[in-house]
Amino acid sequence: MWILYAFGSAFFAGITAILAKIGIKNVDSNLATAIRTIVILIFSWFMVFIVGSFNTMVNLTTKTLVFLILSGISTGMSWLCYFKALQLGNVNKVTPIDKSSTILTMILAMIFLGESITLFKVISIILIGIGTYLMIERKDDNKQEKDNKWLIFAFGSAIFASLTSILGKVGIEGVESNLGTAIRTIVVLIMAWLVVFVTKKQGEIKSVDKKSWKFLLLSGLTTGLSWLCYYKALQDGQASIVVPIDKLSILVTIAFSYIILKERLKKKSIMGLILIVIGTLLLLI
């Protein structure tokens, strides 16, 4: 069952990237992240009350709270980097780098969580690594893409995403997954708005147009759905398998970026995408 939740997470995460890309077009990326997080917070706590896990808060241990908070901080850092990268670069360039966090997550899961090392996992790491490299090759030379700042933010997103998975896995061991997600979201919300006020972008909320509001709110909703599926899968399954499946969201993202954003892939990038998918599917064997 946890595998189905992992695939659900991938689907909603894939849609999120496209909705967010459209939503942050005319909005500061940090402000956009903060606005989206409000929606996720409301949605996640709504689910807590729906499943009736609110009363279990009294059973939370100090260790669980610490790791949930650390996971929330790393999530916030990953988001801030990811949406800044999306604002600066093409979706089909940023997404593969963000998804490369799969490799680091599998390695960390083997080291810190004691998850087994198998031949298929080793082959998967190699295939995903090669595939990611092929996909981050330049596909055009337009003026925007000459600015390599997006590359730095994309790699930052991947690193923090990996830490999030490991810290989250430890943190949700002693808590119902929906409650764990809701607690983490509080941390992300505080962090996101702190960055907004530090950078003095709060005044720009008045100038956010209706289209941006709509897509930011929708991206917040799909992120919430993705999170709920992801941490339920992470709670019941192996992090080294759940994370790669979640990263298959790249298929959804690339498909929608082609249809909606008119972003194209060259043959080398298509080959890289195929290798990433094959490497991920090998983990299910």
Q: Structural domain boundaries of the chain? A: 2-282
φ and ψ at residue 100, rounded to 5 degrees: -70, -10
Closest CA to 68 of 190, 161, 174: 174
User: Count of CB atoms within 10 A of residue 73's CB?
Assistant: 19
Q: Which residues contact residue 144 at a Cβ distance below 8 angstroms, ignoring those fewer than 6 apart?
A: 88, 89
What pLDDT sits at residue 285? Answer: 67
State the burial class of residue 261 (Cβ atoms within 10 Å of its Cβ: 0-12, 13-18, 19+): middle
User: Count of CB atoms within 10 A of residue 181's CB?
Assistant: 30
User: Count of CB atoms within 10 A of residue 61's CB?
Assistant: 11
Closest CA to 219 of 12, 20, 14: 20
* Mutual angle of helices 119-135 and 239-246, in 10-degree steps: 30
- Tens of pLDDT along the chain (285 residues)? 888 998 999 999 889 888 988 888 888 888 998 999 999 899 889 889 888 888 888 888 888 889 989 999 998 999 889 888 888 888 877 888 887 787 888 888 888 888 788 888 889 889 988 988 887 655 454 444 446 788 889 999 999 989 988 887 787 777 887 888 899 899 999 999 999 999 999 999 999 999 999 999 999 999 889 978 887 888 788 777 787 788 788 888 888 888 887 877 788 888 988 998 898 788 776
CB 84 within 8 A of CB 29: yes
Q: Which residues contact residue 76 at a Cβ distance below 8 angstroms, ignoring those fewer than 6 apart?
A: 187, 188, 191, 192
What pLDDT sits at residue 170? Answer: 81
